[in-house]
Amino acid sequence: MTERQDGPAGRHRRPDGLSDETVEALGALSKALETTERARGRLYDFHQLTGTADFQLDRAVELLYKAGHPEWAEAVRTQILGRNVIPGHWTFQIVEAYNATYYRPFQELEASAVKELAQGRDHLLEAELKENRRTHGHPHHTARPPEPE
């Protein structure tokens, strides 16, 4: 096996003439997008946890009535159950606004930068890090997954 065959797949090889600085910049842009992906996941956590809490209030209302506290049951039902989390917004509206205003434009810009600057080759920085850190010839340090049979 030649070193070229043992190296990264073509889609993970730096195009000719692409500078170290551009590879580093695209890596930083990609890392920022990955951080945004994590933030977005937490926004979905917030959305789902808030929705779950709202449905759990049904049980609290029921138990307050059963315990003889109708005024507290009504306070929970009318003041908290179904309440906006910020003025005019339930959590799904926050998720929609985040996706439309920030996440999708960021995602599209990063993809455009990779397409224009690196011929669409993604994760070049990581591929080069892998190539520099792996032990060539070691069975658990292969450059790419095995070919399908």
User: Which residues, given as ranges, of the chain have pLDDT below 70?
Assistant: 1-5
- Alpha helices in 1-149, H assignment, sequence order: 3-6, 20-66, 70-79, 91-98, 104-118, 124-133
Comparing CA positions, the residue from 87, 89, 65, 92 lying closest to residue 76 is: 65
pLDDT of residue 143: 87
pLDDT of residue 74: 98
Instruction: Please tell me the pTM assigned to this model.
Output: 0.83
pLDDT of residue 5: 63
Residue labelled with tokens 């985040």: 98
pLDDT of residue 1: 43
